[in-house]
């Protein structure tokens, strides 16, 4: 394991125009067969994220993002996310976390990065969950993010890689929304966009459908979607 660099959801440098779809298909197949640390993920896995502001449930989608899903579930089963921070909150954009220790705010050690599966057809729409990464297209490891709104700028184009979506929030999006409007600013080592009152990921664990349903709160009234002119550009 090694210490990873700070990952952010941001626009990438443009790549030269190529027959990227063919390249992606070939490279993805090779990566799936050869990746030393990732095995097939269980179908329809449900994962419970317990935070200091409430819980939410993620449905992991290994059929569309097998490498990214298996990578995430590996960290979950290792207990990696317990006691980490949601360290970045940008209203009308994303919440991001899972990489910084909640005690000393330092980045935790990680496994090797995973191949970027952003060409899998899953889009960065509201409630979808993706893998954060650095400047390198294939630099994602442990940190995840949840889209607070539709974020098409995070999807791939023929000229650049996007951010790989591997799951969706199926319960507790109201909790994600509350985290998404928490007061932010400079805090500890974070220069901006950090919750001023730390939001801690207490635990992430795999649960079965029955357990998830048993903990479901009464249905909440739908909230009004943000207006399109309020959506912030990725940065």
Residue 142 and residue 35 in contact, taking contact as beta carbons nearer than 8 Å: no
The SS3 assignment for 88 reads strand
Q: What is the pLDDT of residues 144-164, one digit of tens each?
A: 999 999 999 999 999 999 999
Highest CATH level, class, for 43-216: mainly beta
Q: What is the pLDDT of residues 25-49, one digit of tens each?
A: 445 444 544 454 444 445 669 999 9
Q: What is the pLDDT of residues 182-222, one digit of tens each?
A: 999 999 999 999 999 999 999 999 998 766 666 555 544 44
Q: Outline where DSSP puts E strands in the chain.
A: 2-3, 46-51, 54-60, 84-86, 88-90, 94-97, 109-110, 128-131, 144-147, 165-171, 184-187, 190-195, 199-207
Q: Say what the pLDDT of residue 70 is.
A: 97
- Whether the pLDDT of residue 181 is over 50: the answer is yes
Q: What is the DSSP string of 177-214?
A: HHHHTS-EEEETTEEEEEESS-EEEEEEEEE-HHHHHH
Domain ranges of the chain: 43-216
Alpha carbon distance 165, 146 (integer Å):
9
- Top pLDDT among 7 and 204 is at 204
Q: CA 33 → CA 12, 28, 39, 124, distances in Å?
A: 27, 9, 9, 26
The SS3 assignment for 167 reads strand
Q: Say what the pLDDT of residue 234 is.
A: 40
Alpha carbon distance 135, 123 (integer Å):
20
- Whether the pLDDT of residue 64 is over 70: the answer is yes
Mean pLDDT of the chain: 82
Alpha carbon distance 186, 117 (integer Å):
32
Neighbour count for residue 84 (Cβ, 10 Å): 25
Q: Of 91, 68, 24, which is closest to residue 165 (Cα–Cα)?
A: 68
Q: What is the mean pLDDT of residues 92-99?
A: 98
Q: What is the mean pLDDT of residues 102-123?
A: 97
CA within 13 Å, CB half, 174: 9
């Amino acid at each position: 394991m090694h210490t990873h660099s700070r990952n952010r959801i941001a626009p990438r440098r443009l790549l030269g125009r190529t027959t990227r779809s063919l390249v992606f298909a070939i490279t993805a197949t090779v990566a799936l067969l050869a990746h030393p640390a990732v095995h097939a993920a269980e179908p329809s896995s449900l994962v419970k994220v317990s935070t200091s502001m409430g819980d939410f449930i993620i449905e992991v989608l290994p059929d569309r993002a097998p490498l990214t899903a298996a990578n995430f579930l590996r960290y979950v089963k290792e207990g990696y996310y317990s006691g980490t921070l949601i360290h970045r909150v940008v209203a009308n954009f994303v919440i991001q976390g899972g990489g910084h220790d909640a005690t000393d705010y330092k980045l935790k050690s990680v496994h090797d990065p995973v191949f970027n599966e952003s060409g899998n057809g899953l889009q960065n729409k509201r409630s979808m969950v993706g893998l954060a990464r650095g400047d390198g297209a294939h630099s994602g490891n442990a940190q995840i993010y949840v889209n607070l709104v539709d974020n098409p700028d995070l999807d791939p184009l023929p000229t650049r890689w996007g951010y790989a979506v591997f799951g969706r929030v199926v319960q507790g999006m109201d909790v994600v929304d509350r985290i998404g409007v928490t007061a932010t600013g400079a805090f500890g080592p974070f220069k901006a966009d950090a919750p001023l009152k730390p939001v801690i990921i207490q635990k992430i664990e795999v649960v079965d459908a029955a357990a998830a349903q048993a903990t479901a709160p009464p249905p909440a009234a739908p909230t009004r979607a943000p207006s399109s002119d309020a959506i912030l550009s990725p940065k």
